């Protein structure tokens, strides 16, 4: 029997306006704004719902100077999921922004790597550069959960459910794991902090919080070999959530949504590499999404992606529309994603994102 296909929702719950130099070992010679968004993920399919990571609270956001947008459990509620009744939660690693709030999932078994607990309770935690992103109360709370018999440990790679597997990566922490999920588009890897940005992976420049750059390199090599689609800061499935918080103001918020919407299409293109120039074509409803959907060939999926994406832009940005230009006859293709909208006062504004795939 083939593995069930799943849907993945990325729930953005926090934001940090930071500089590029904070996101790479050795800084960045072209320093500039490079904000970081924080996500938890919901995986749905095969008759079950799995949550990956639990985020952090508004109190923790205040303590660490992050902008808290919503409790992750509120994001889940918008998707019809009650955190209190979730049965399985994967904790990719025990950093404060991945395991805070775990007590809001009282019925859940937490899935954790042996090495991560060893790391979070061992000798490295005496050093700020290793322990700084952990919160002792989170770790102590998970230890209590171990004694209550509700932490399932994994020693390396494991199939959690049909079509959902865990993979020990390390690198960022000793026991970081990623989650591989079967979807209609093939395998999707929820990379968590294995790579914070595509740039960490694509330019082989690790994020500064790292237990072992050696392990990071191993993941890097594996990633190119396996051609995983990664959702580290990806946006698939999130855009619909924005609608509830919009229409309240212009300016910066419209720009933020334009950036997110462009990133959303970039992820769709990455997830559908075979479509190539079809992303410069016409939008169409090919029934690739939603209930009763069918498996679509890459070009049909691209046309449907464009339709859904353009509908989102129109719903979110005043006078909004989006276009894609593709240059090249063979890989790597250069995609330029442009989003246009009208600011208050009738000022025509646009945002463009260029990527090579
Ligand atoms: Zn981390």
Cα–ligand 1 centroid distance for 107 (angstroms): 24
- Confidence band for 243, pLDDT divided at 50, 70 and 90: very low
Would the pLDDT of 229 be above 60?
A: no
In sequence order, the β-bridge partners of residue 76 are none
Cα–ligand 1 centroid distance for 297 (angstroms): 36
Domain ranges of the chain: 7-230, 249-356
The residue-averaged pLDDT of 309-322 equals 92
Cα–ligand 1 centroid distance for 99 (angstroms): 10
Cα–ligand 1 centroid distance for 95 (angstroms): 5
User: Which residue matches tokens 């019809």?
Assistant: 80
More confident residue, 289 or 56: 56
Tokens of 343: 């600011």
Q: State pTM to two decimals.
A: 0.67
Average pLDDT, the chain: 83
Cα–ligand 1 centroid distance for 356 (angstroms): 27
Residue 213: how many CB atoms within 10 A of its CB? 14
Q: What is the pLDDT of residue 34?
A: 72
Would the pLDDT of 248 be above 80?
A: no
Assign 3-class secondary structure to 262-306.
HHHHHHHHHCCHHHHHHHHCCCCCCCCCCCCCCCCCHHHHHHHHH
Q: What is the pLDDT of residue 1?
A: 53
- Could you read off the pLDDT of 136-181 as tens digits, one per residue? 999 999 999 999 999 999 999 999 999 999 988 888 899 999 998 9
Quick check: bond before 332 cis, omega within 30? yes
Cα–ligand 1 centroid distance for 193 (angstroms): 5
- Confidence band for 192, pLDDT divided at 50, 70 and 90: confident
CATH class of 7-230: alpha beta
Query: Pick from 28, 26, 53, 82: which is nearest to 232 by CA?
Result: 53
Q: What is the pLDDT of residue 217?
A: 65
Query: Widest CA span of the chain, in angstroms?
Result: 61
Q: What is the pLDDT of residue 225?
A: 39
Q: What is the pLDDT of residue 48?
A: 94
Q: What is the pLDDT of residue 144?
A: 97
Would the pLDDT of 316 be above 50?
A: yes
Distances (CA, A) of 23 to 14, 92, 241: 17, 20, 27
* CB-based neighbours (< 5 A) of ligand 1, an ion: 95, 193
Cα–ligand 1 centroid distance for 250 (angstroms): 33
Would the pLDDT of 245 be above 60?
A: no
Asked if residues 89 and 99 have their Cβ atoms less than 8 Å apart, the reply is: no
Cα–ligand 1 centroid distance for 97 (angstroms): 7
Asked if residues 46 and 274 have their Cβ atoms less than 8 Å apart, the reply is: no
Query: Pick from 135, 143, 52: which is nearest to 96 by CA?
Result: 135
Q: What is the pLDDT of residue 116?
A: 97
Would the pLDDT of 230 be above 50?
A: no
Q: What is the pLDDT of residue 133?
A: 94
Cα–ligand 1 centroid distance for 42 (angstroms): 18
């Amino acid at each position: 029997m083939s593995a069930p296909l799943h849907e993945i929702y990325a729930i953005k719950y926090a934001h940090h306006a930071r500089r590029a130099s904070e996101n790479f070992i050795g800084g960045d010679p072209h320093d500039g704004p490079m904000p970081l968004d924080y996500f938890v993920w919901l995986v749905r399919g095969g008759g079950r719902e799995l949550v990956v990571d639990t985020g952090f609270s508004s109190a923790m956001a205040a303590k660490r100077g992050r902008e808290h947008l919503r409790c992750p459990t509120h994001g889940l509620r918008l998707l019809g999921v009650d955190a209190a009744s979730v049965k399985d939660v994967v904790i990719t690693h025990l950093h404060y922004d991945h395991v805070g709030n775990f007590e809001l999932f009282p019925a859940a078994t937490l899935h954790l790597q042996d090495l991560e607990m060893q790391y979070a309770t061992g000798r490295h935690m005496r050093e700020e550069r290793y322990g700084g992103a952990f919160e002792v109360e989170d770790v102590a709370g998970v230890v209590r959960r171990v004694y209550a018999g509700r932490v399932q440990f994994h020693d390396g790679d494991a199939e959690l459910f049909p079509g959902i597997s865990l993979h020990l990566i390390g690198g960022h922490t000793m026991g970081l794991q990623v989650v591989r999920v079967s979807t209609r588009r093939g395998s999707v890897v929820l990379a968590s902090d294995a790579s914070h940005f595509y740039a960490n992976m694509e330019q082989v420049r690790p994020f500064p919080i790292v237990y072992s750059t050696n392990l990071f390199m191993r993941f890097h090599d594996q990633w190119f070999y396996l051609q995983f689609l990664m959702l580290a800061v990806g946006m698939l499935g999130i855009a619909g959530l924005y609608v509830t918080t919009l229409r309240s103001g212009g300016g910066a918020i419209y720009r933020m949504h334009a950036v997110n919407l462009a990133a959303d299409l970039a992820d769709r293109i990455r997830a559908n590499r075979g479509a190539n120039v079809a992303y410069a074509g016409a939008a169409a409803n090919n029934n690739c999404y939603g209930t009763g959907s069918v498996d679509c060939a890459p070009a049909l999926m691209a046309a449907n992606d464009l339709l859904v994406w353009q509908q989102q832009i129109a719903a979110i940005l005043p006078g909004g529309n989006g276009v894609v230009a593709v240059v090249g006859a063979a890989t790597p293709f250069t995609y330029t994603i442009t989003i246009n909208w009208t600011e208050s006062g009738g000022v025509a504004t646009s945002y463009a994102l260029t990527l090579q795939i």
